[in-house]
Chain A
Amino acid sequence: MTAFIYTFGATGRVSLNALYALSRVCVLMVETINWTLVQPFRGRGLRMKAVVFNLVEYGVNSLPIVGLICFLIGAIMAMQSAYQLARFGATQYIANLVGVASMRELAPLMTAILLTGRSGSAIAAEIGTMKVAEEIDALEVMGLNPTKFLIVPKFLAMLIAIPCLTILATFIMILGGYMLSVFALGVDSDLYLNNTARALQMKDFATGFTKSVFFAVVICWVGVYRGFQVEGGAEGVGKMTTSSVVTSIFLIILVDLVFTALFFF
Chain B
Amino acid sequence: MNDTSEHIIEVRDLVVKYGDRTVLDGLNFQIRRGETFVILGGSGCGKSTLLRNLVGLMRPYSGEILFNGRDITTMTDDERIEVRKRVGMCFQGSALFNSMSLADNVALPLREHTRLASSTIDIQTKIKLALVGLSGFEEYLPAEISGGMKKRAGLARAMAMDPEIIFYDEPSAGLDPIVAAGLDMLIRKMQSTFNLTSVVVTHEMASVRLIADTVCMLNAGRIVGTGKIDELERSKDPFIQQFFERRPDEESDTRDDYIRSLMGIDLPGNAT
Residues of A within 8 A of B (CB): 129-130, 133-135, 137-138, 140-144
Cβ A133 vs Cβ B57 within 8 A: no
Cβ A138 vs Cβ B89 within 8 A: yes
Q: Is B91 an interface residue (CB 8 A)?
A: yes
Closest to B86 in A: A143
Given A141-B89, A144-B112, are A135 and B97 neighbors across the interface (CB < 8 Å)? yes
Q: Find A143's partner among B57, B85, B92 (CB 8 Å cutoff).
A: B85
Q: Find B57's partner among A135, A140, A144 (CB 8 Å cutoff).
A: A140
Cβ A143 vs Cβ B109 within 8 A: yes
Cβ A133 vs Cβ B95 within 8 A: yes
Give Cα A138–Cα B52 distance, bound, in whole angstroms. 11
Chain B: number of interface residues, binned into ranges: 20 to 34
Given A142-B84, A143-B85, are A134 and B109 neighbors across the interface (CB < 8 Å)? no
Cβ A134 vs Cβ B95 within 8 A: yes
B76-111 CB contact bits vs A (8 Å, 1 = yes)? 000011101101110111011110000000001100
- Shortest CB-to-CB span from A166 to chain B, Å, is 28
For this complex, 10 residue pairs linking A to B, each with C-beta atoms less than 8 Å apart, are: A134-B91, A134-B95, A137-B91, A138-B91, A138-B96, A140-B56, A141-B56, A142-B112, A143-B84, A144-B109
Closest to B89 in A: A141
**B97: which A residues are within 8 A, CB to CB?**
130, 135, 138
Cβ B84 vs Cβ A135 within 8 A: no
Cβ B108 vs Cβ A142 within 8 A: yes
Closest to A137 in B: B57
Give Cα A133–Cα B82 distance, bound, in whole angstroms. 25
Q: Is B113 an interface residue (CB 8 A)?
A: yes
Cβ B109 vs Cβ A137 within 8 A: no
Closest to B169 in A: A134
Add 7 more A-B contacts to A142-B108, A142-B161, A143-B109 (CB < 8 A).
Answer: A129-B98, A135-B97, A137-B52, A137-B91, A138-B95, A138-B97, A143-B113
Q: Is B72 an interface residue (CB 8 A)?
A: no
Most buried by B among A134, A137, A140, A142: A142
Give Cα A140–Cα B85 distance, bound, in whole angstroms. 11
Q: Is B55 an interface residue (CB 8 A)?
A: yes
Give Cα A205–Cα B262 distance, bound, in whole angstroms. 69
Closest to B88 in A: A141
- Shortest CB-to-CB span from A201 to chain B, Å, is 45
